[in-house]
Structure 1
Amino acid sequence: MSAINISPNQPSNNIKTRNTMMNMITLIQTLSKREKQIAMKIMEGLPNKLIAADLFISERTVKFHCANIYRKLNISNRATLMANYYKDLYDMAS
């Protein structure tokens, strides 16, 4: 598998993959600071209750932020969030 080149100065062999990566980068930038913090806690495998305790917020607030994250990234659950995260890491490493 070849590496994905998202540099604007060099052409990509796979334009569709390049555009998808650029869209994901754009989508991630739409997350608020708190949503990014919660997304990282999800990546660590923490459940909502522990995320709430770590960030000193209620579990309901964590669920609210999770819903916003899923909506902004056009995904439906934390498993998809983690899968996309690790897929992007793999794609960048290869």
Structure 2
Amino acid sequence: MSKSKNKAEKLHLFRVAGLGCIVCKNLGHEDTPAEIHHIRTGCGTGQRADNFCVIPLCHIHHRTGGHGVAVHAGRQTWENNFGTETELLVQVMYELEGGFYA
């Protein structure tokens, strides 16, 4: 995979981050600033997914929240608490298409 992002990847990453943290949104906290998390399941065979298999997470749910809160502090517990990366990716894609996810 190339390290540089093409125009379509940059646009997609911008749109995903613009959704705000998907976990916060599901918890009823709207408009939490998000960073990009490349999911590790369901998108190919590599350790890190490509730039289209990403979900928006705030820094707490991404890397600083500790075990059970941050995905990088323990993915299995995090997924038990908030849903799988694949489920959240489906929700993100649906929201990007203009749908409403309940």
- Structure 1-normalised TM-score? 0.32
Look at both structures and tell me which one has the larger radius of gyration over its CA atoms: 1
Q: Which has the higher helix share?
A: 1
Q: Which has the higher strand share?
A: 2
- Structure 2-normalised TM-score? 0.30
Q: Relative contact order (C-alpha < 8 Å, sep 6+): which is higher?
A: 1
